[in-house]
Structures are given as C-alpha cells and as structure tokens.
C-alpha cells in the first residue's frame, strides 16, 4: 500500500495526529527506523528523514 502523504522531516522522532479536528486521530509519536522513514499506523502518512539531516531526536 502506498502512503497517503509523505512529509520530509529533520528529526528522527515525529508526532502525527492525522491533521487534527474531526478527521484526525489520537496523537502518536513515531521513531524513524534505520531505513530513514516510518508510516503512521492510523492514517498511513509517511515521514522521511531529509537527506543530510542528523539522525538524532531533538
């Protein structure tokens, strides 16, 4: 299954709430794996670590 949306990020820990509001989902915190990306288990949004970004959480 292809991700619904992809967001380029600069941190290895991200939060997703599905866009908030009535169409959202509970906020979850996700850690990007060794592959440099993670998909939200609720909405399928993919977070991808920006090329050249440091691989540590802020």
Dist. CA 11–CA 30, nearest whole Å: 11
- Separation of CA 35 from chain center: 13
- Separation of CA 51 from chain center: 15
**Which distant-in-sequence residues (6+ apart) come within 8 Å of 28 by Cβ?**
15, 16, 17, 40, 41, 42
Nearest to 24 by CA among 48, 42, 3, 47: 42
Instruction: Give the pLDDT confidence score for residue 2 in this predicted structure.
Output: 63
pLDDT in tens, 5-47: 999 999 999 999 998 777 789 999 999 999 999 999 999 999 9
Was domain 6-49 assigned CATH 2.60.260.40?
A: yes
Dist. CA 17–CA 34, nearest whole Å: 23
């Amino acid at each position: 299954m292809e991700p619904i949306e992809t967001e380029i990020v600069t941190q290895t820990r991200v939060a997703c709430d599905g866009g908030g509001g009535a169409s959202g989902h509970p906020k979850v915190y996700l850690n990007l794996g060794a592959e440099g990306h993670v998909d939200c288990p609720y909405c399928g949004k993919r977070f991808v670590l920006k090329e050249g970004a440091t691989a540590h959480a802020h």
